[in-house]
Structure 1
Amino acid sequence: MPSRRAFLMTSLFALASKPSRSADPWEALRAKRAFVLLRHAIAPGTGDPAGLRLGDCSTQRNLSDEGRSQARNIGSLLRSQGIDRAAVYSSEWCRSLDTARLLELGYDLGPEELRRAFARFKEIADRKKQVTDRDLIAIVSDEIQAQHVEHYRLEAVQVHTGDRIVPVATVTVVSPDGRSVTEVASGNGPVDAVCNAIVRAVGIPARLVDFSVRAVTEGGDAVGEVSVIIEHEGRQVPGRGVATDIIVASARAFINAINRLISSYEAAGRNVPIGT
Protein backbone atom coordinates (compact mmCIF):
# COMPACT_ATOMS: atom_id res chain seq x y z
CA MET A 1 0.00 0.00 0.00
CA PRO A 2 1.58 3.33 -1.02
CA SER A 3 2.51 5.74 1.77
CA ARG A 4 0.91 9.16 2.04
CA ARG A 5 4.29 10.68 1.17
CA ALA A 6 4.13 8.74 -2.09
CA PHE A 7 0.61 10.05 -2.58
CA LEU A 8 1.87 13.57 -1.93
CA MET A 9 4.57 13.21 -4.56
CA THR A 10 2.05 11.72 -7.00
CA SER A 11 -0.16 14.74 -6.41
CA LEU A 12 2.72 17.11 -7.03
CA PHE A 13 3.48 15.53 -10.39
CA ALA A 14 -0.12 15.06 -11.47
CA LEU A 15 -1.50 18.47 -10.58
CA ALA A 16 1.01 20.88 -12.07
CA SER A 17 -1.21 23.10 -14.20
CA LYS A 18 1.51 23.75 -16.78
CA PRO A 19 3.94 20.83 -16.51
CA SER A 20 5.74 21.72 -19.71
CA ARG A 21 7.39 24.69 -17.98
CA SER A 22 9.25 22.55 -15.48
CA ALA A 23 9.93 18.88 -14.81
CA ASP A 24 10.33 19.68 -11.12
CA PRO A 25 6.99 19.59 -9.21
CA TRP A 26 8.53 21.48 -6.28
CA GLU A 27 9.46 24.33 -8.60
CA ALA A 28 5.91 24.31 -9.97
CA LEU A 29 4.55 24.53 -6.41
CA ARG A 30 6.89 27.38 -5.47
CA ALA A 31 5.84 29.24 -8.62
CA LYS A 32 2.16 28.65 -7.74
CA ARG A 33 1.54 26.68 -10.93
CA ALA A 34 0.49 23.59 -8.98
CA PHE A 35 -1.34 22.55 -5.83
CA VAL A 36 -1.30 19.53 -3.53
CA LEU A 37 -4.36 17.35 -3.01
CA LEU A 38 -3.77 15.56 0.27
CA ARG A 39 -5.91 13.12 2.29
CA HIS A 40 -5.96 13.56 6.06
CA ALA A 41 -3.17 11.88 8.03
CA ILE A 42 -3.58 8.49 9.74
CA ALA A 43 -6.90 8.15 11.59
CA PRO A 44 -7.38 4.46 12.44
CA GLY A 45 -10.62 2.81 11.42
CA THR A 46 -13.23 3.65 8.79
CA GLY A 47 -16.20 5.96 8.73
CA ASP A 48 -17.36 7.74 11.88
CA PRO A 49 -19.16 6.62 15.07
CA ALA A 50 -22.94 6.85 15.23
CA GLY A 51 -24.09 10.28 16.33
CA LEU A 52 -21.43 12.19 14.38
CA ARG A 53 -21.62 15.95 14.90
CA LEU A 54 -19.41 18.33 12.93
CA GLY A 55 -17.65 20.66 15.33
CA ASP A 56 -17.57 18.04 18.09
CA CYS A 57 -14.38 16.02 17.74
CA SER A 58 -15.45 13.59 20.48
CA THR A 59 -18.08 12.19 18.09
CA GLN A 60 -15.65 11.59 15.21
CA ARG A 61 -12.80 9.33 14.14
CA ASN A 62 -9.66 11.35 14.84
CA LEU A 63 -5.94 11.34 14.13
CA SER A 64 -3.77 8.97 16.09
CA ASP A 65 -0.42 10.05 17.57
CA GLU A 66 1.18 8.52 14.47
CA GLY A 67 -1.18 10.57 12.28
CA ARG A 68 -0.27 13.79 14.07
CA SER A 69 3.40 13.04 13.62
CA GLN A 70 2.77 12.23 9.97
CA ALA A 71 1.04 15.57 9.36
CA ARG A 72 3.94 17.44 11.00
CA ASN A 73 6.43 15.51 8.85
CA ILE A 74 4.57 16.42 5.64
CA GLY A 75 4.62 20.08 6.70
CA SER A 76 8.37 19.79 7.35
CA LEU A 77 8.84 18.25 3.91
CA LEU A 78 7.03 21.17 2.26
CA ARG A 79 9.01 23.76 4.25
CA SER A 80 12.29 22.02 3.38
CA GLN A 81 11.43 22.72 -0.27
CA GLY A 82 10.89 26.43 0.36
CA ILE A 83 7.12 26.27 0.78
CA ASP A 84 6.61 27.76 4.23
CA ARG A 85 3.35 29.62 3.57
CA ALA A 86 0.28 28.43 1.71
CA ALA A 87 -3.49 28.72 1.60
CA VAL A 88 -4.71 25.46 3.14
CA TYR A 89 -8.31 24.35 2.59
CA SER A 90 -9.91 21.55 4.57
CA SER A 91 -13.22 19.78 5.07
CA GLU A 92 -15.01 20.29 8.40
CA TRP A 93 -14.05 16.89 9.84
CA CYS A 94 -11.71 17.21 12.83
CA ARG A 95 -9.15 14.77 11.39
CA SER A 96 -8.87 16.94 8.26
CA LEU A 97 -8.76 20.22 10.19
CA ASP A 98 -6.10 18.82 12.53
CA THR A 99 -4.03 17.65 9.55
CA ALA A 100 -4.26 21.15 8.03
CA ARG A 101 -3.23 22.83 11.31
CA LEU A 102 -0.33 20.45 11.94
CA LEU A 103 1.15 21.23 8.51
CA GLU A 104 1.99 24.64 10.05
CA LEU A 105 1.70 26.49 6.76
CA GLY A 106 -0.66 29.15 8.08
CA TYR A 107 -0.55 32.91 7.97
CA ASP A 108 1.85 35.00 10.07
CA LEU A 109 1.22 38.73 9.89
CA GLY A 110 3.32 41.33 11.65
CA PRO A 111 1.67 44.33 13.36
CA GLU A 112 1.79 46.56 10.26
CA GLU A 113 0.52 43.85 7.89
CA LEU A 114 -2.25 43.02 10.39
CA ARG A 115 -3.24 46.71 10.58
CA ARG A 116 -3.44 46.94 6.78
CA ALA A 117 -5.35 43.66 6.51
CA PHE A 118 -7.88 44.91 9.07
CA ALA A 119 -8.23 48.23 7.23
CA ARG A 120 -8.95 46.34 4.01
CA PHE A 121 -11.41 44.11 5.84
CA LYS A 122 -13.31 47.22 7.00
CA GLU A 123 -13.19 48.62 3.46
CA ILE A 124 -14.75 45.45 2.04
CA ALA A 125 -17.26 45.26 4.90
CA ASP A 126 -18.45 48.77 4.01
CA ARG A 127 -19.12 47.64 0.44
CA LYS A 128 -20.54 44.17 1.02
CA LYS A 129 -23.50 42.87 2.97
CA GLN A 130 -21.49 39.90 4.18
CA VAL A 131 -17.74 39.24 4.38
CA THR A 132 -16.96 35.56 3.81
CA ASP A 133 -14.02 33.36 4.82
CA ARG A 134 -12.79 33.48 1.23
CA ASP A 135 -12.75 37.29 1.35
CA LEU A 136 -10.55 37.12 4.45
CA ILE A 137 -8.27 34.49 2.90
CA ALA A 138 -7.83 36.69 -0.19
CA ILE A 139 -6.99 39.75 1.92
CA VAL A 140 -4.51 37.96 4.17
CA SER A 141 -2.91 36.08 1.24
CA ASP A 142 -2.37 39.41 -0.49
CA GLU A 143 -0.66 40.88 2.60
CA ILE A 144 1.47 37.75 3.05
CA GLN A 145 2.63 38.00 -0.56
CA ALA A 146 3.44 41.69 -0.22
CA GLN A 147 5.14 41.79 3.15
CA HIS A 148 8.54 40.42 2.07
CA VAL A 149 8.89 42.45 -1.14
CA GLU A 150 7.29 45.79 -0.36
CA HIS A 151 9.51 48.59 -1.65
CA TYR A 152 6.62 50.72 -2.94
CA ARG A 153 3.12 50.76 -1.47
CA LEU A 154 -0.07 51.87 -3.20
CA GLU A 155 -1.70 54.72 -1.27
CA ALA A 156 -4.48 55.89 -3.61
CA VAL A 157 -5.77 55.41 -7.15
CA GLN A 158 -8.42 57.34 -9.06
CA VAL A 159 -9.48 56.92 -12.68
CA HIS A 160 -11.50 59.25 -14.88
CA THR A 161 -12.95 57.31 -17.79
CA GLY A 162 -16.01 57.05 -19.97
CA ASP A 163 -17.44 56.23 -23.38
CA ARG A 164 -15.89 59.04 -25.41
CA ILE A 165 -12.94 60.21 -23.33
CA VAL A 166 -9.35 59.05 -22.94
CA PRO A 167 -8.95 57.34 -19.55
CA VAL A 168 -6.78 59.28 -17.11
CA ALA A 169 -5.45 57.80 -13.85
CA THR A 170 -4.07 59.54 -10.80
CA VAL A 171 -1.96 57.29 -8.60
CA THR A 172 -0.20 57.96 -5.29
CA VAL A 173 2.46 55.54 -4.06
CA VAL A 174 4.65 55.58 -0.96
CA SER A 175 8.31 55.29 -1.93
CA PRO A 176 10.96 53.27 -0.03
CA ASP A 177 12.03 56.44 1.83
CA GLY A 178 8.46 57.11 2.99
CA ARG A 179 7.59 59.92 0.54
CA SER A 180 4.19 60.04 -1.14
CA VAL A 181 4.57 60.38 -4.90
CA THR A 182 1.59 61.29 -7.10
CA GLU A 183 1.56 60.97 -10.88
CA VAL A 184 -1.07 61.29 -13.60
CA ALA A 185 -1.13 59.40 -16.89
CA SER A 186 -3.50 58.44 -19.69
CA GLY A 187 -3.82 55.11 -21.45
CA ASN A 188 -5.69 52.96 -23.94
CA GLY A 189 -8.00 51.88 -21.13
CA PRO A 190 -8.35 52.46 -17.38
CA VAL A 191 -5.93 49.65 -16.43
CA ASP A 192 -3.36 50.87 -18.95
CA ALA A 193 -3.69 54.39 -17.55
CA VAL A 194 -3.14 53.12 -13.99
CA CYS A 195 -0.05 51.15 -15.03
CA ASN A 196 1.37 54.16 -16.87
CA ALA A 197 0.85 56.36 -13.81
CA ILE A 198 2.60 53.81 -11.58
CA VAL A 199 5.52 53.61 -14.01
CA ARG A 200 5.91 57.40 -13.77
CA ALA A 201 5.66 57.34 -9.97
CA VAL A 202 8.32 54.66 -9.45
CA GLY A 203 10.54 55.63 -12.40
CA ILE A 204 10.84 52.06 -13.65
CA PRO A 205 9.53 51.68 -17.23
CA ALA A 206 8.13 48.18 -16.85
CA ARG A 207 5.69 46.92 -19.47
CA LEU A 208 2.49 44.97 -18.80
CA VAL A 209 2.64 41.77 -20.86
CA ASP A 210 -0.09 39.65 -19.28
CA PHE A 211 -3.28 40.45 -17.37
CA SER A 212 -6.02 38.21 -15.98
CA VAL A 213 -8.83 38.64 -13.50
CA ARG A 214 -11.05 36.21 -11.61
CA ALA A 215 -13.72 36.51 -8.94
CA VAL A 216 -12.61 35.15 -5.57
CA THR A 217 -16.18 35.21 -4.26
CA GLU A 218 -19.62 35.31 -5.86
CA GLY A 219 -22.11 38.13 -6.40
CA GLY A 220 -22.07 41.69 -7.64
CA ASP A 221 -19.90 42.75 -4.70
CA ALA A 222 -17.38 39.94 -5.21
CA VAL A 223 -13.72 40.32 -4.33
CA GLY A 224 -11.66 40.22 -7.53
CA GLU A 225 -8.14 38.87 -7.92
CA VAL A 226 -5.94 40.34 -10.65
CA SER A 227 -2.76 38.59 -11.82
CA VAL A 228 -0.23 40.36 -14.03
CA ILE A 229 3.15 39.75 -15.59
CA ILE A 230 5.41 42.73 -16.25
CA GLU A 231 8.60 42.91 -18.28
CA HIS A 232 11.68 45.07 -17.85
CA GLU A 233 14.84 44.61 -19.93
CA GLY A 234 13.84 41.05 -20.79
CA ARG A 235 13.12 40.12 -17.18
CA GLN A 236 9.52 39.01 -16.50
CA VAL A 237 7.97 38.87 -13.03
CA PRO A 238 4.41 38.19 -11.79
CA GLY A 239 2.23 40.25 -9.50
CA ARG A 240 -1.09 39.79 -7.76
CA GLY A 241 -3.67 42.05 -6.12
CA VAL A 242 -7.15 41.71 -4.66
CA ALA A 243 -9.93 44.23 -4.04
CA THR A 244 -13.66 44.63 -4.60
CA ASP A 245 -12.74 47.18 -7.30
CA ILE A 246 -10.92 45.67 -10.29
CA ILE A 247 -9.03 48.89 -11.03
CA VAL A 248 -7.70 48.99 -7.47
CA ALA A 249 -6.85 45.27 -7.65
CA SER A 250 -4.99 45.95 -10.93
CA ALA A 251 -2.99 48.76 -9.32
CA ARG A 252 -2.08 46.53 -6.38
CA ALA A 253 -1.04 43.72 -8.73
CA PHE A 254 1.18 46.05 -10.79
CA ILE A 255 2.81 47.49 -7.64
CA ASN A 256 3.35 43.96 -6.33
CA ALA A 257 5.07 43.03 -9.60
CA ILE A 258 7.25 46.19 -9.43
CA ASN A 259 8.31 45.22 -5.90
CA ARG A 260 9.15 41.70 -7.04
CA LEU A 261 11.13 43.12 -9.95
CA ILE A 262 13.21 45.28 -7.60
CA SER A 263 13.79 42.27 -5.31
CA SER A 264 14.91 40.14 -8.25
CA TYR A 265 17.54 42.74 -9.20
CA GLU A 266 18.68 43.02 -5.57
CA ALA A 267 19.01 39.24 -5.33
CA ALA A 268 21.31 39.40 -8.35
CA GLY A 269 23.38 42.17 -6.73
CA ARG A 270 22.18 44.83 -9.15
CA ASN A 271 20.24 48.07 -8.95
CA VAL A 272 17.14 48.39 -11.11
CA PRO A 273 18.01 50.31 -14.30
CA ILE A 274 15.90 53.48 -14.10
CA GLY A 275 14.36 55.26 -17.08
CA THR A 276 15.45 52.75 -19.71
Structure 2
Amino acid sequence: MIKKSKTVELFLALGLAVSVAACSSDVSSTGGGEAGSSETPVVAEVPEGGEGEEYSEGEQANADFEDKLSGPELLSALKEGGHVIYFRHAQTEKDYADQADPNLNLTDCETQRKLNDVGEKQAKDIGAAFKEKNIPVGEVITSEYCRAWKTADLAFGQHTKNSKLNFLPFEDYTDAQVEEMKANVTPLLTATPADGKNTILVGHDDIFEAATGIYPDPQGIAYVLTPDGSGAFELQANVLPDEWATL
Protein backbone atom coordinates (compact mmCIF):
# COMPACT_ATOMS: atom_id res chain seq x y z
CA MET A 1 0.00 0.00 0.00
CA ILE A 2 1.26 3.47 -0.86
CA LYS A 3 0.35 5.89 1.92
CA LYS A 4 -0.12 9.58 1.22
CA SER A 5 -1.55 11.46 4.15
CA LYS A 6 -0.15 14.96 3.78
CA THR A 7 -3.00 15.93 1.51
CA VAL A 8 -5.55 14.45 3.90
CA GLU A 9 -4.00 16.47 6.72
CA LEU A 10 -4.21 19.58 4.53
CA PHE A 11 -7.90 18.88 3.91
CA LEU A 12 -8.53 18.54 7.63
CA ALA A 13 -6.47 21.64 8.40
CA LEU A 14 -8.39 23.74 5.89
CA GLY A 15 -11.72 22.48 7.21
CA LEU A 16 -10.67 23.26 10.76
CA ALA A 17 -9.47 26.72 9.77
CA VAL A 18 -12.82 27.54 8.22
CA SER A 19 -14.75 26.28 11.25
CA VAL A 20 -12.64 28.10 13.81
CA ALA A 21 -12.49 31.31 11.78
CA ALA A 22 -16.26 31.44 12.00
CA CYS A 23 -15.89 31.49 15.78
CA SER A 24 -13.22 34.25 15.62
CA SER A 25 -10.54 31.95 17.04
CA ASP A 26 -6.92 31.68 15.88
CA VAL A 27 -5.79 28.65 13.89
CA SER A 28 -2.41 27.92 12.32
CA SER A 29 -1.59 25.22 9.80
CA THR A 30 1.52 24.22 7.92
CA GLY A 31 2.15 22.69 4.54
CA GLY A 32 5.08 20.62 3.44
CA GLY A 33 7.64 20.30 0.68
CA GLU A 34 7.77 21.94 -2.68
CA ALA A 35 4.01 22.15 -3.01
CA GLY A 36 4.16 25.28 -0.91
CA SER A 37 6.41 27.05 -3.43
CA SER A 38 3.75 27.18 -6.15
CA GLU A 39 1.57 30.26 -6.59
CA THR A 40 -1.28 28.01 -7.75
CA PRO A 41 -4.28 28.26 -5.38
CA VAL A 42 -4.19 25.47 -2.83
CA VAL A 43 -6.85 22.81 -3.28
CA ALA A 44 -7.28 20.15 -0.61
CA GLU A 45 -6.81 16.73 -2.14
CA VAL A 46 -7.67 13.16 -1.41
CA PRO A 47 -4.90 11.12 -3.04
CA GLU A 48 -5.63 9.36 -6.31
CA GLY A 49 -4.73 5.93 -4.99
CA GLY A 50 -4.94 5.23 -1.28
CA GLU A 51 -4.45 7.23 1.87
CA GLY A 52 -2.80 6.77 5.24
CA GLU A 53 -2.35 8.26 8.68
CA GLU A 54 1.33 9.20 8.50
CA TYR A 55 3.50 11.34 6.27
CA SER A 56 4.52 8.91 3.54
CA GLU A 57 8.01 8.11 2.33
CA GLY A 58 7.00 9.20 -1.16
CA GLU A 59 5.83 12.61 0.03
CA GLN A 60 9.04 13.04 2.01
CA ALA A 61 11.11 12.12 -1.04
CA ASN A 62 9.25 14.73 -3.09
CA ALA A 63 9.79 17.38 -0.41
CA ASP A 64 13.49 16.51 -0.01
CA PHE A 65 14.33 16.22 -3.71
CA GLU A 66 17.18 18.50 -4.80
CA ASP A 67 17.64 19.48 -8.43
CA LYS A 68 20.85 18.43 -10.15
CA LEU A 69 20.09 20.90 -12.93
CA SER A 70 18.17 24.16 -12.60
CA GLY A 71 17.61 27.52 -14.26
CA PRO A 72 19.66 28.23 -17.39
CA GLU A 73 21.59 24.96 -17.01
CA LEU A 74 18.37 22.94 -17.04
CA LEU A 75 17.00 24.91 -19.98
CA SER A 76 20.19 24.34 -21.96
CA ALA A 77 20.03 20.60 -21.30
CA LEU A 78 16.38 20.44 -22.36
CA LYS A 79 17.12 22.30 -25.58
CA GLU A 80 19.63 19.60 -26.47
CA GLY A 81 16.97 16.92 -26.08
CA GLY A 82 17.45 13.39 -24.78
CA HIS A 83 15.23 13.69 -21.72
CA VAL A 84 11.94 12.23 -20.52
CA ILE A 85 9.67 14.76 -18.83
CA TYR A 86 7.04 13.14 -16.64
CA PHE A 87 4.08 15.37 -15.83
CA ARG A 88 1.46 14.62 -13.26
CA HIS A 89 -1.71 15.92 -14.94
CA ALA A 90 -2.72 19.52 -14.24
CA GLN A 91 -5.06 20.54 -11.45
CA THR A 92 -8.52 18.99 -11.32
CA GLU A 93 -11.84 20.20 -9.95
CA LYS A 94 -11.70 17.60 -7.18
CA ASP A 95 -9.44 14.76 -6.15
CA TYR A 96 -10.52 11.26 -5.29
CA ALA A 97 -9.57 7.72 -6.21
CA ASP A 98 -11.75 7.48 -9.31
CA GLN A 99 -9.76 4.52 -10.61
CA ALA A 100 -11.71 2.50 -8.04
CA ASP A 101 -15.10 3.99 -8.99
CA PRO A 102 -17.39 1.29 -10.45
CA ASN A 103 -18.94 3.95 -12.71
CA LEU A 104 -15.61 4.87 -14.29
CA ASN A 105 -15.56 4.66 -18.08
CA LEU A 106 -12.24 5.60 -19.67
CA THR A 107 -14.02 6.56 -22.90
CA ASP A 108 -16.46 8.89 -21.11
CA CYS A 109 -14.97 11.98 -19.50
CA GLU A 110 -18.21 12.63 -17.64
CA THR A 111 -17.45 9.66 -15.36
CA GLN A 112 -13.99 11.01 -14.46
CA ARG A 113 -12.41 13.91 -12.67
CA LYS A 114 -11.95 16.91 -14.93
CA LEU A 115 -9.38 19.67 -15.18
CA ASN A 116 -10.63 22.85 -13.54
CA ASP A 117 -9.99 26.37 -14.86
CA VAL A 118 -6.66 26.55 -13.03
CA GLY A 119 -5.59 23.21 -14.50
CA GLU A 120 -6.48 24.25 -18.04
CA LYS A 121 -4.47 27.44 -17.62
CA GLN A 122 -1.53 25.51 -16.17
CA ALA A 123 -1.45 23.24 -19.22
CA LYS A 124 -1.71 26.12 -21.70
CA ASP A 125 0.99 28.10 -19.89
CA ILE A 126 3.32 25.09 -19.87
CA GLY A 127 2.89 24.68 -23.61
CA ALA A 128 3.46 28.39 -24.21
CA ALA A 129 6.68 28.25 -22.18
CA PHE A 130 7.97 25.27 -24.18
CA LYS A 131 7.36 27.18 -27.43
CA GLU A 132 8.84 30.43 -26.16
CA LYS A 133 11.99 28.72 -24.90
CA ASN A 134 12.31 26.39 -27.90
CA ILE A 135 12.27 23.20 -25.86
CA PRO A 136 11.99 20.41 -28.47
CA VAL A 137 9.16 17.92 -28.01
CA GLY A 138 9.03 14.49 -29.59
CA GLU A 139 6.55 11.85 -28.50
CA VAL A 140 3.74 12.90 -26.15
CA ILE A 141 2.37 9.84 -24.34
CA THR A 142 -0.45 9.93 -21.83
CA SER A 143 -2.60 7.66 -19.71
CA GLU A 144 -6.11 6.89 -20.91
CA TYR A 145 -7.67 9.19 -18.31
CA CYS A 146 -9.21 12.38 -19.68
CA ARG A 147 -7.36 14.67 -17.28
CA ALA A 148 -4.04 13.32 -18.55
CA TRP A 149 -4.59 13.48 -22.30
CA LYS A 150 -6.39 16.82 -22.04
CA THR A 151 -3.40 18.23 -20.17
CA ALA A 152 -1.22 17.05 -23.05
CA ASP A 153 -3.51 18.42 -25.75
CA LEU A 154 -3.78 21.84 -24.11
CA ALA A 155 -0.01 22.02 -23.62
CA PHE A 156 1.40 20.32 -26.72
CA GLY A 157 -1.49 19.86 -29.13
CA GLN A 158 -1.01 16.11 -29.39
CA HIS A 159 -1.06 12.86 -27.47
CA THR A 160 -0.86 9.10 -27.81
CA LYS A 161 -2.63 7.09 -25.13
CA ASN A 162 -0.85 4.22 -23.43
CA SER A 163 -2.55 2.10 -20.77
CA LYS A 164 0.83 1.49 -19.11
CA LEU A 165 0.46 4.98 -17.63
CA ASN A 166 -2.88 4.09 -16.01
CA PHE A 167 -2.96 3.21 -12.36
CA LEU A 168 -4.46 -0.09 -11.31
CA PRO A 169 -8.18 -0.06 -10.36
CA PHE A 170 -7.69 -0.17 -6.61
CA GLU A 171 -7.75 2.48 -3.90
CA ASP A 172 -5.10 0.76 -1.77
CA TYR A 173 -2.23 -1.14 -3.35
CA THR A 174 -0.44 -4.28 -2.30
CA ASP A 175 3.31 -4.55 -2.76
CA ALA A 176 2.70 -6.78 -5.77
CA GLN A 177 0.45 -4.19 -7.39
CA VAL A 178 3.03 -1.46 -6.83
CA GLU A 179 5.60 -3.69 -8.54
CA GLU A 180 3.18 -4.22 -11.42
CA MET A 181 2.78 -0.47 -11.91
CA LYS A 182 6.54 -0.06 -11.74
CA ALA A 183 7.00 -2.73 -14.40
CA ASN A 184 4.41 -1.02 -16.58
CA VAL A 185 5.87 2.48 -16.53
CA THR A 186 9.63 1.84 -16.28
CA PRO A 187 10.06 1.06 -20.02
CA LEU A 188 8.53 4.46 -20.81
CA LEU A 189 10.79 6.25 -18.33
CA THR A 190 13.92 4.57 -19.66
CA ALA A 191 13.22 4.74 -23.42
CA THR A 192 15.74 6.93 -25.26
CA PRO A 193 14.00 9.87 -26.98
CA ALA A 194 14.46 10.62 -30.67
CA ASP A 195 17.62 12.59 -31.44
CA GLY A 196 17.32 16.19 -30.35
CA LYS A 197 13.89 15.66 -28.80
CA ASN A 198 12.39 15.23 -25.36
CA THR A 199 9.68 12.67 -24.66
CA ILE A 200 6.67 13.93 -22.72
CA LEU A 201 4.76 11.57 -20.42
CA VAL A 202 1.55 12.71 -18.74
CA GLY A 203 0.31 10.40 -16.03
CA HIS A 204 -0.56 10.19 -12.36
CA ASP A 205 0.96 10.25 -8.91
CA ASP A 206 1.04 6.58 -7.89
CA ILE A 207 2.52 5.41 -11.19
CA PHE A 208 5.53 7.69 -10.81
CA GLU A 209 5.91 6.85 -7.14
CA ALA A 210 5.91 3.13 -7.91
CA ALA A 211 8.90 3.58 -10.24
CA THR A 212 10.89 6.22 -8.35
CA GLY A 213 9.76 6.25 -4.73
CA ILE A 214 8.72 9.89 -5.18
CA TYR A 215 5.11 11.02 -4.82
CA PRO A 216 4.82 13.92 -7.32
CA ASP A 217 2.97 16.79 -5.68
CA PRO A 218 1.24 19.15 -6.46
CA GLN A 219 -0.79 18.36 -9.55
CA GLY A 220 0.95 19.72 -12.64
CA ILE A 221 4.46 19.09 -11.30
CA ALA A 222 6.99 17.58 -13.72
CA TYR A 223 10.12 15.53 -13.16
CA VAL A 224 12.94 15.60 -15.73
CA LEU A 225 14.73 12.27 -16.22
CA THR A 226 17.67 11.35 -18.43
CA PRO A 227 17.65 7.74 -19.70
CA ASP A 228 21.13 6.20 -19.82
CA GLY A 229 20.40 3.89 -22.75
CA SER A 230 20.89 0.80 -20.58
CA GLY A 231 17.49 0.56 -18.91
CA ALA A 232 18.04 3.11 -16.16
CA PHE A 233 17.64 6.86 -15.75
CA GLU A 234 18.87 9.79 -13.70
CA LEU A 235 16.48 12.23 -12.06
CA GLN A 236 17.63 15.75 -12.93
CA ALA A 237 15.00 18.20 -11.66
CA ASN A 238 11.42 18.83 -10.77
CA VAL A 239 9.54 21.80 -12.17
CA LEU A 240 6.30 23.30 -10.88
CA PRO A 241 3.73 24.46 -13.46
CA ASP A 242 4.56 28.16 -13.10
CA GLU A 243 8.34 27.61 -13.15
CA TRP A 244 8.61 26.71 -16.84
CA ALA A 245 8.16 30.34 -17.82
CA THR A 246 11.06 31.42 -15.61
CA LEU A 247 13.71 28.84 -16.63
**TM-score scaled by length of structure 2:** 0.35
**TM-score scaled by length of structure 1:** 0.32
Using CA pairs below 8 Å that are at least 6 residues apart, which structure has the higher relative contact order? 2
- Structure with the larger strand share: 1
